[in-house]
Amino acid sequence: MPLKKTNVLEPTQTQSLTLVVDLKDCASYDDVGVVQAFAFVLEEGVYRFHVGNSVRHTHVAYELNLDNVVVLEQLESACAPVTPFKRIKPHFENSQVQLILEDVPLRNYDLNQRIATHRPQSIEPTQDRGFKLVDVASGKVSMDDFIAQFSDHDLACLVRGEGMSSPKVTPGVASAFGGVTQNLLGFGLPLAACSDGPSGIRMDNGAIATSLPNGTCLACTWNQPLVEDLYVLEGKELILNKIDFLLGPGINIHRNPLNGRNFEYFSEDPFLTGSMAVAQMKGMHSVGASGTLKHFAANNQETARHFIDCIVSERALREIYLKGYEMAVKQGQSRSIMTSYSAVNGIWAASNYDLNTTILRDQWGFDGFVMTDWWAKLNDEGEEATVRNTKAMIRAQNDIYMVVENAEENSLNDNTLEALEAGLLTRGELQRCAKNILKVILKSEAFARLQRGETDLVKLAKEFNEVLTNLVKIDGHGLLSFDGSDTSQGSKKNFNLDVQEAGTYVFAFAMSSTLNPLAQIPLNVSLNDEFVATFVFNGTDGVWTTKEKEFVLPQGPVKLTFNFPQNGLQFQQLHVTKK
């Protein structure tokens, strides 16, 4: 049933609206077997549809009398809890309703056996046969033949997103993925960019973008066409800035008024939530951009959300916390989803097979790709969650880990290749993630830009004509000192360089920040007074450490400027080495 709202009506003007009800929106999920286990059912009885201008002022517009139970959709159990708890159940006695407690049904299947049974066949690897991604787009070769060219190392790099503020894409955005290595670029993969969201584009370089009303405000309109029109404009702004995916909408449920993320989410009502998400998806897709549904799933609090285990019945999960996602997938054809930081019934969402495969792909038919939240933890059931366990992520079909500083060098030291070598992960599972990613990239504006010849991945500085004094010679390497420089908000630090050879250089910053490791502090970089990139550092809890960033320097005299848009960073020195 789509939301319906009249136009703005003048005095005496009228408008008729027709509401079509999908009976599944009235159905219950039976996770016990009272009617039919693991099915959406309509129980026998009278269904009354009320119309009015408030919940206190309605009249019955239609009645549907069901003499028998109707099974609308038969599913298999998934994401069932393993921790016992009780839930409230209504009990009718002498025409009175009493609330009693019942045990929640627990998982009754072997999850590891389910994973093993549905493990995909591996594609036999080949040498590089010269196939490019454009050959897949044109139908010249199949996706399987194209991916067969990828080495295990190529596949492992493809499931890593780089950021924050990768210099390979639009400065200041959250991540780059796709052609993150020279090999992947050589296969014709573009670099796609993601930006926060959900209330408009966030670029940590200080660039100006439109601030949109937050999710709760948009849901208060109950106006799908208006929200869709707004996100047509948002999609155009994304494309203008060469950003392919907005990290939004946020569509978790307003479960508690104290949730620190409520402003990003739409409503306490799953149907209204899903309706708003569908409108946003349609708007962005119409102009070539895309949104990312988040945080999948049951992200109902901000405090300690990296550590909590959301223990929830399968019925509540499907009827409340997953319904908005299901609507956005089936009606909005969503292409991208971000998993939450927390666990869902014991397994961290980013590595939860039932969540990302059984429900999302097998039961809902999702045909896009899934990314983690930034620096999320991953686990095998019963084991401690860590950021390294990409083996569990890949097996679950959470396709991309967000984010690492350098995909080629495995800067986060993930366990993808070691698990593959040890037989704990199959090449087929890794190739399956690659296909999920590439199918979406083929539909992206990033791929269209590449076909139009817009291939400049890193903008080099323009020629600088001023006479520079006190040049620091960079002949393969050089050492720059901050020497007590002011790094407070609004300050800047200039270095005049004499670069002997153009190329990619590794900038090793000796740095510290009193902020915690989840804090993100941007540093804007200019060459010859032209803004070119944003480096993002995490807090270090006051510990001095070395953080490396890569950057392209042109040959000759260069004015290098670091601008500090926020407080929180301290630097001692910067070691510059040609890669």
Catalytically active residues are: 373
Gap between the Cα atoms of 391 and 380, Å rounded:
9
180 neighbors 194 (Cβ within 8 angstroms): no
Q: Is the preceding peptide bond at 249 cis, omega within 30 degrees of 0?
A: yes
Gap between the Cα atoms of 140 and 143, Å rounded:
10
Q: Which residues are within 8 A (CB) of 289 and not within 5 positions of it... i.e. 6 or more apart?
A: 234, 235, 236, 238, 239, 243, 244, 245, 246, 445
Q: Strands 191-196 and 175-178: what pairing?
A: antiparallel
User: Side by side, which strands form the sheet with 347-348?
Assistant: 309-310, 343-344, 347-348
| 3-state class (DSSP) for residue 328 | helix
Question: 474 — alpha (psi -120 to 50), left (phi > 0) or beta?
Answer: beta
Among 310, 316, 218, which residue's Cα sits nearest to residue 273?
218
Torsion angle in degrees (nearest 10) through CA of 332, 333, 336, 339:
70
| 3-state class (DSSP) for residue 61 | strand
Q: In 10 A of CB 135, how many CB atoms?
A: 17
Structure tokens at 568: 């929180």
> Which whole-number Å values give the CA distances from 122 to 133, 369, 432, in the listed order?
20, 19, 9
Count of CA atoms in the C-beta half-sphere (13 A) of 354: 27
| 3-state class (DSSP) for residue 32 | coil
Among 301, 242, 257, 297, which residue's Cα sits nearest to residue 274?
297
437 neighbors 159 (Cβ within 8 angstroms): yes
